Amino acid sequence: MTETAATRTADGREPTRVILRMEVYPELAADFERVWLSVGESIAREPANLGQLLVRSTEEEAVYYVLTDWAGERAFRDFEVSHRHTLHRQRLKPFRRGGDMAVTEVVHRLEPVSSGPPAA
């Protein structure tokens, strides 16, 4: 994926954004990242998936956030209950010690005004 998880849908609508907070066992963090990347590459092939990010907290040890954009909530919900996704969750389960999920919609988007250096 070459862009951040902020791609609009094919018809120009804002995507459904899923935010997953994952608490992993600290001693398994490197393995988690490796397995997540493999799972993420599989999810990236889903037609309704518009992009993903894995970010690591700088404030909490071994806490990650997964941000995924989908063509719509129905498309995400269909994927969420699919056999493919059940297999993904099984691969990641040994690393997880907790977490939660939020399904969201973008209300407002502000793009940068300039990509140049900040004004003095």
List the alpha helices (DSSP H) in the chain. Answer: 29-43, 73-80, 83-92
For residues 54-66, give the mean pLDDT. Answer: 98
Kindly report which listed range (51-55, 61-65, 104-108, 113-117) carries the lowest average pLDDT score. Answer: 113-117
Tokens representing 58 are 């700088």
CB crowding 19-57: b at 16 or more within 10 Å, else e: ebebbbeeeebeebeebbeebbeebeebebbbbbbbeee
Residue 119 is predicted with a pLDDT of 65
Backbone angles phi, psi at 95, to 5 degrees: -95, -20
Q: Are 90 and 84 in contact (CB under 8 A)?
A: no
Residue 113's pLDDT band (boundaries 50, 70, 90)? confident
pLDDT tens per residue across span 65-106:
999 999 999 999 999 999 999 999 999 999 999 999 999 998
What does pTM read for this prediction? 0.83
Residue matched to tokens 């969750």: 89
Residue 104 is predicted with a pLDDT of 96
Q: Are 18 and 76 in contact (CB under 8 A)?
A: yes
Identity of the amino acid at 38: S
- Residue 87, CA atoms < 13 Å, CB-side half-sphere: 8
